[in-house]
Amino acid sequence: MDSTSPVIYVVEPYGGSIRRHNPALPLIFWDDAAVTRGDGVFETLLIRDGHPANLRRHMERFQASARLLDLREPSADDWIDATRQAVEEWTARTGEDAKCVWTYTRGRESTGIPSAWITLSPINERVLRQRESGVSVMTSPRGFTIDTSLPGVDEATEGGSPEPAPWLTVGAKTLNYAANMAALRHARSRGFDDVIYIDPGTGRVLEGATSTVIAVRKERKLRTPVPGGEVLPGTTQAALFEYAERQGWRCRAKDMTVERLLDAESVWLVSSVRVATRVTAIDGHPLPAPANEAEVRELINAALGAE
Amino acid sequence: MDSTSPVIYVVEPYGGSIRRHNPALPLIFWDDAAVTRGDGVFETLLIRDGHPANLRRHMERFQASARLLDLREPSADDWIDATRQAVEEWTARTGEDAKCVWTYTRGRESTGIPSAWITLSPINERVLRQRESGVSVMTSPRGFTIDTSLPGVDEATEGGSPEPAPWLTVGAKTLNYAANMAALRHARSRGFDDVIYIDPGTGRVLEGATSTVIAVRKERKLRTPVPGGEVLPGTTQAALFEYAERQGWRCRAKDMTVERLLDAESVWLVSSVRVATRVTAIDGHPLPAPANEAEVRELINAALGAE
């Protein structure tokens, strides 16, 4: 068992008993909806210094995603217990930070019982490198538009409604990530590190392929595109805004164009495991490092441990 | 091994060697892109009288889907050989028709080698029942609009371009089917059997949640919504139109409204395993059985064996 081998715990979805799974063996059956349809939800958490960061917000979004897919709501206590046990094993073995993924699927067609598991694995080298060096991004239309006038979508994307969106799973963090991955591959093939989606009609900035966009403006202001519709509410952004407000920053969700990114003091992509990566260029226009780069980075890091 | 137990063959994607997999054991590893992102493609085929129906069109779409996802093109010979072997085993054991699924994923993150497998399993009872009794459908907007003005999308949805659509996987039959499944659950919770998507702006009929819409009009005419964009080109529809033309029907892809469905002689949802299911009502408006119901059904059945 080398130090890069993952820790896997299978969670019994009703009852919460857990069992360790040998990562050298297959885990998922041929007829699991995760595999046949991408029909499930997930959360990715950072394990830092032996603890899951931003745990409450991840749990809230995980439960909201499950409700949106009409899956029985996962028990926070059971998942947190199982995560703690997995983290303990991981930390004892490696002493390293980790990427933790919770997965909860509609389960096997032949049994109708949801499948659920937790994995802990090393943080990707590229992620660690990009935390230091930043990322060069390209902007791109997403290629589809979500009709937010439909009933259910508005509530759904706030994450607060107990009603599932009737026919969409907008606002849920589902396993349907193939288009995002295709966008990243495309960006990399063109020499960029990442993608920021924009709305082609309005020029409005939406989100990164797997991250939330933050603009730092003069006089300690933080801005992020208004979540909802095509912008998944970000757990890292939420933690950052709550914490930064207490530190005297003025934080607001506000729609913006690419031009407003280019004239910001700095632009960041934030997400759970990568935490904060500074955008060094957008479509080839350089964004030089700001004087307060270290301060902003420290702010985001501190926010994740603040709850 | 009872008669409902599936047959599973794992296909070695480069080289084509195959091995039988015990369906009582898990098949897929924790870090397979099929599970973590729905990042893969599939085809569902009908096995009828010991043979895969409409094989060439499924293979063409499977290869086109793989190209769109920037996966190495699957070898037709290897997949057809493996399918024949699996069908032989299935037919010897059960003597029944079957649902065959080809799955091809980006594979394990830790190895970077694609995963591929074939499953054969019994045809769902509900499918068999609906072939006889028909389905009552509700219409619904899909909830998102695909921007077909983007470069790559037009070609992609024709299935004929060797270039991947740069950021979307429109036109590929990917594992990202959660929204379709959610739409079906919603329809069933409201007492319907299925969904036909319409474009809310124009009222244009798009497709079923997992099927292609066919309208039969007077004087032996067949109509289907123009494929491309939000309408996946249907293999069953393509086989039907080619065969029916030879039998003297006049077949055309032509956009239509729900009103044009309601004044058709009959409306059908066609797909690989279900073959042909007549729509008995749309949003509560009944569509009585036409005089030529048996003839149309026979036409569709015959088309699938015609190549």
User: What does the block give as tokens for A82?
Assistant: 């199982």
Distance, in angstroms, between B37 CA and closest chain A CA?
Answer: 5
Whether B144 and A142 lie within 8 Å, measured CB to CB: no
Cβ partners under 8 Å of residue B21, min gap 6: A30, B8, B9, B10, B27, B117
Contacts of A153 in chain B (CB under 8 A): 143
CATH classification of B7-122 is 3.30.470.10, yes or no? yes
Measured between beta carbons, which residues in chain B are less than 8 angstroms from residue A198? none
B83: its two tokens:
């399918």
Q: How many CB pairs under 8 A join A and B?
A: 194
A287-290 long-range contacts (CB < 8 A, ≥24 apart) are A287/A261, A287/A262, A290/A216, A290/A265, A290/A266
User: What's the pLDDT score for residue B157?
Assistant: 39
pLDDT tens-digit profile of A117-158? 999 999 999 999 999 999 999 998 876 555 444 433 343 333
Contact B178 A174 (CB under 8 A): yes
Count Cβ atoms below 10 Å from residue A149 Cβ, excluding itself. 11
Hunting for tokens 């933050």 — which residue is that? Answer: A214
CB A156 within 8 A of CB A228: no
Predicted confidence at residue A307, as pLDDT, reads 58
Strands A135-141 and A275-282 come out as parallel
Q: Indicate the domain borders of chain A.
A: 7-121, 128-304
Query: Which CATH superfamily hosts domain B128-304?
Result: D-amino Acid Aminotransferase, subunit A, domain 2 (3.20.10.10)
Contact A143 B28 (CB under 8 A): no
Residue B1's pLDDT is: 54
Residues within 8 A of A (CB atoms), B 133-192 only:
140-147, 150, 153, 164-170, 174-183, 185-186
Q: What is the pLDDT of residue B179?
A: 76
If chain B, 307 residues long, is cut into consecutive pieces of 10 residues, what is the mean pLDDT of each piece? 85 88 97 91 94 95 87 94 96 96 94 95 94 94 56 38 39 72 86 92 92 97 90 93 98 97 97 95 96 96 83
The residue whose two tokens read 């008669």 is B3
Q: Find the residue in A nearest to B71 (Cα).
A: A182
Task: Check: CB of residue A124 under 8 Å from CB of residue B37.
Answer: no
Contacts of A142 in chain B (CB under 8 A): 167
Structure token digits, residue B87: 């069908």
Write down the CATH number for the domain with range A7-121. Answer: 3.30.470.10
- Interface touch B176/A179, C-beta < 8 Å: yes
**pLDDT tens-digit map of A168-220:** 445 567 777 777 888 888 899 889 999 999 988 889 999 999 999 999 999 99
d(CA A269, CA A214): 6
Core vs surface per residue B188-214: b (16+ CB within 10 A) or e: eeeebbbbbbbbeeeebbbbbbbbbbb
Of B143, B165, B170, the CB nearest to A146: B143
- Whether residue A2 has pLDDT greater than 70: no
B180 - beta bridge partners? Answer: none
Question: Inter-axis angle of helices A235-246 and A293-304, to 10 degrees?
Answer: 110
ipTM value of the model? 0.88
Test mutation, B8, B9, B32, B37, chain A, max A CBs within 10 A: B37
The rounded distance, in Å, linking the Cα atoms of A277 and A124 is 14
* Contact between B133 and B289 (Cβ < 8 Å): no
Parallel, antiparallel, or unpaired for β A40-48 and A51-52?
antiparallel
Q: What is the pLDDT of residue B6?
A: 97
Helix or strand holding residue A195 (H, E)? strand A194-198
Are residues A222 and A239 in contact, defined by beta-carbon separation less than 8 angstroms?
Answer: no
Burial of A35 (0-12, 13-18, 19+ CB in 10 A): buried
Q: What is the dihedral of CA A216, A222, A226, A231, to 10 degrees?
A: 60
From A237's Cα to the closest Cα of chain B, the distance in A is: 22
Inter-chain CB proximity A144 and B39 less than 8 Å: no
Residue from A122, A100, A104 nearest A45 by CA? A100
Tokens of A32: 């699991």
Bridge partners for A21 per DSSP = A8
Long-range contacts of B257-264 (CB under 8 A, 24+ apart): B257/B203, B257/B204, B257/B205, B258/B139, B258/B196, B258/B198, B258/B203, B258/B205, B258/B282, B258/B283, B260/B205, B260/B215, B260/B223, B261/B196, B261/B205, B261/B213, B261/B215, B261/B287, B262/B287, B264/B215, B264/B216, B264/B217, B264/B223
Task: Please return the burial class of B89, using the count of CB atoms within 10 Å of its CB with bins 0-12, 13-18 and 19+.
Answer: middle
A221/chain B closest Cα distance in angstroms: 32
Q: Would the CB atoms of A38 and B37 count as touching at under 8 Å?
A: yes
Kindly determine whether residue B200 and residue A26, on different chains, have CB atoms separated by under 8 Å.
no
CA A141 to chain CA mean position, Å: 20
Answer whether A21 sits within 8 Å of B30, measured CB to CB: yes
